[in-house]
């Protein structure tokens, strides 16, 4: 774990000699802790201090990169147990299995299915991240062929799934310029798998059948063989196991700095409890969720969950404030105002378009807060909204003087009318889902 300024200070000579350019050792330590300078700038660091500082600079959970020719996925390098302490850095990557026993047509259909799971939510594209080619046939030539077909049809990085090192080698030979993930080494094949991982610069999943002790022992052996990029498979099959084992692995890594478990974790999702296992895995530290099979709606729900868990809790999702066009508005189109919280913007604009209308949508600078929260925080008052309207060029875009405010802040309508003389304030619906009926039943009849 990174050291604090005071912890670094205790490792310094405390002579305040100023040779580093700072007036005191304490000032120097604070700059080192803030990562503004390197501790090596002090010429009087003891060997012991160098060793401690060097070890603290290594992330407690290793960053592992899985690459194709043109795409890559990063996992690991997490620093906290709970997202509110800072944030989670690398979201759970979603991988979908394609079995090598399928024929060319079936593989192409599965690739199409994977491509289709791609949608925009709150300004972010949500999609699947990895493809796992799975050895079902037991025939290394079939596996090779499947890897070849898939690498020529997608840019997504690959996971090669087999316990047979010869089959894995056949797959690796098809993608020598990628850095795939090999799944997996176990107590029987780990030496050969380690050799392959080193030769092809691949990352390696370790699976241990007998709990975290055997996982830790195997990870140490594989690291001593020279494989650095390891992913742990604690082999969990139900929600209780996932919760317990994933939490223990992260606690050992972060709180005990236990290097044997300081790696990202993969969760194999299959069987009857797939969906709930995935939910627990996303919330609790799975770096990769490897799906055998899942319905489209399940993927969409899980991608949405992932987006929420991995958003930075200290920075609300927001879009730039200003006036946005929804559809192809003209001077008679309705004029809405709301906050610049991303989700509000996307839901409101979608509902306006979904109703068959175009419109002008003013987003005020409410620091990414939702409507009610912004109002309660004093960032969405009638006076503020009036100022935004007056400072905008909306009067050049519309011929009417009607403004629609969110129903939840009906209370600002009087103040807004005072700020915008000559304007009519419409109190719109509370829920965005009622915008279509508002436009048809109120707006269209009066405008
Ligand atoms: Fe302290 Fe080292 Fe800087 Fe001297 S050079 S003030 S000992 S940190």
Residue with tokens 């799944």: 183
Structure confidence at residue 82 (pLDDT): 94
Distance 282 CA to ligand 1 centre (A): 45
Whose CA is closest to 359, among 386, 387, 330?
Answer: 330
Read off the pLDDT of each residue in 142-155 and give the average, rounded to a whole number: 96
C-beta of residue 228 within 8 angstroms of C-beta of residue 204: no
- Tell me the best of 18, 19, 38, 43 to mutate to test the pocket of ligand 1, counting ligand atoms within 8 Å of each CB and taking the most: 19
C-beta of residue 146 within 8 angstroms of C-beta of residue 134: no
Read off the pLDDT of each residue in 208-233 and give the average, rounded to a whole number: 95
Confidence class for position 200, pLDDT limits 50, 70, 90: very high
The Cβ-side half-sphere exposure at 303, using a 13 Å CA radius, reads 21
* Between 74 and 51, the higher pLDDT residue: 74
> Tell me: the pLDDT tens digits for 282-337?
999 999 999 998 888 999 999 999 999 998 887 777 888 999 999 999 999 999 99
Give yes or no for residue 1 having a pLDDT over 70: no
> How far, in Å, CA of 68 to CA of 219, rounded?
25
Structure confidence at residue 316 (pLDDT): 74
Distance 47 CA to ligand 1 centre (A): 15
> How far, in Å, CA of 219 to CA of 237, rounded?
21
Distance 50 CA to ligand 1 centre (A): 14
Query: Ligand 1, closest atom to CA 18?
Result: 6
Whose CA is closest to 271, among 291, 248, 244?
Answer: 291
C-beta of residue 288 within 8 angstroms of C-beta of residue 231: yes
Tokens standing for residue 85: 């302490």
Distance 256 CA to ligand 1 centre (A): 30
Structure confidence at residue 210 (pLDDT): 86
Read off the pLDDT of each residue in 19-26 and give the average, rounded to a whole number: 93
Tokens standing for residue 210: 């007998």
Structure confidence at residue 379 (pLDDT): 93
Structure confidence at residue 101 (pLDDT): 96
Structure confidence at residue 25 (pLDDT): 94
Read off the pLDDT of each residue in 398-421 and give the average, rounded to a whole number: 96
Beta strand 181-185 pairing with 203-207: parallel
Structure confidence at residue 286 (pLDDT): 98
> Tell me: the pLDDT tens digits for 236-267?
989 999 999 999 999 999 998 899 999 999 99
Confidence class for position 215, pLDDT limits 50, 70, 90: very high
Read off the pLDDT of each residue in 27-50 and give the average, rounded to a whole number: 89
Read off the pLDDT of each residue in 120-140 and give the average, rounded to a whole number: 92
Tokens standing for residue 177: 């310029």
Read off the pLDDT of each residue in 157-177 and give the average, rounded to a whole number: 97
Structure confidence at residue 36 (pLDDT): 81
Percentage of the chain exceeding pLDDT 90? 83
* Between 246 and 447, the higher pLDDT residue: 246
Which residues does a 6 A CB cutoff place in the pocket of ligand 1? 12-13, 15-20, 22, 25, 28, 42, 44
- Tell me the best of 5, 17, 23 to mutate to test the pocket of ligand 1, counting ligand atoms within 8 Å of each CB and taking the most: 17
C-beta of residue 437 within 8 angstroms of C-beta of residue 354: no
- Tell me the best of 21, 28, 32, 38 to mutate to test the pocket of ligand 1, counting ligand atoms within 8 Å of each CB and taking the most: 28
Residues comprising the chain, all counted: 447
Q: 120 φ, ψ to 5°?
A: -100, 130
C-beta of residue 231 within 8 angstroms of C-beta of residue 268: no
């Amino acid at each position: 774990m990174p050291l604090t300024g005071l912890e670094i200070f205790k490792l310094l000579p405390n002579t305040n000699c100023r040779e580093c350019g700072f007036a005191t050792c304490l000032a120097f330590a604070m700059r080192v802790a803030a990562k503004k300078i390197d501790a090596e700038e002090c010429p009087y660091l003891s060997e012991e201090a160098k060793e401690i500082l060097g070890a603290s600079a290594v992330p407690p959970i290793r960053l592992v990169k899985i690459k194709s020719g043109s795409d890559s996925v990063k996992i690991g390098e997490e620093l906290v147990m709970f997202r509110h302490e800072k944030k989670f850095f690398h979201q759970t990557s979603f991988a979908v299995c394609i079995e090598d026993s399928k024929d060319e047509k079936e593989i192409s259909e599965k690739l199409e299915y994977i491509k289709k799971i791609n949608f925009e939510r709150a300004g972010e594209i949500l999609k699947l991240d990895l493809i796992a080619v799975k050895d079902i046939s037991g025939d290394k030539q079939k596996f090779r062929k499947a890897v070849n077909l898939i690498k020529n049809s997608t840019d997504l990085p690959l996971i090669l799934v087999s316990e047979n090192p010869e089959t894995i080698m056949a797959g690796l030979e098809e993608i020598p310029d990628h850095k795939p993930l090999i799944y997996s080494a176990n107590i029987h094949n780990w030496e050969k798998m380690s050799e392959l991982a080193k030769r092809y610069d691949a990352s390696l999943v370790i699976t241990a059948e007998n709990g975290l002790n055997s996982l830790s022992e195997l990870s140490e052996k594989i690291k001593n063989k020279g494989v650095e990029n390891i992913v742990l498979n604690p082999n969990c099959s139900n929600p209780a196991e996932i919760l317990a084992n994933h939490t223990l692995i992260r606690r050992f890594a972060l709180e005990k700095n236990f290097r044997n478990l300081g790696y990202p974790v993969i969760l194999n999702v299959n069987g009857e409890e797939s969906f709930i296992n995935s939910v627990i895995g996303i919330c609790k530290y799975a770096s990769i969720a490897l799906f055998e099979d899942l319905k489209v709606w399940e993927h969409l729900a899980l991608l949405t969950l992932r987006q929420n868990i991995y958003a930075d809790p200290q920075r609300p999702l927001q879009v730039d404030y200003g006036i946005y066009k929804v559809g192809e508005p003209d001077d008679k189109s309705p004029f809405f105002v709301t906050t610049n919280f991303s989700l509000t913007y996307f839901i409101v604009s979608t509902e306006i378009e979904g109703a068959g209308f175009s419109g002008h949508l003013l987003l005020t600078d409410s620091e990414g807060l939702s409507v009610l929260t912004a109002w309660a925080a004093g960032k969405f008052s009638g006076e503020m909204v009036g100022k935004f309207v007056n400072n905008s060029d909306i009067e050049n875009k519309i011929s009417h003087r009607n403004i629609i405010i969110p129903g939840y802040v009906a209370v600002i309508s009087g103040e807004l009318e005072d700020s915008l003389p000559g304007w009519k304030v419409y109190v719109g619906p509370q829920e965005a889902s009622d915008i279509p009926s508002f436009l048809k039943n109120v707006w269209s009849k009066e405008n």
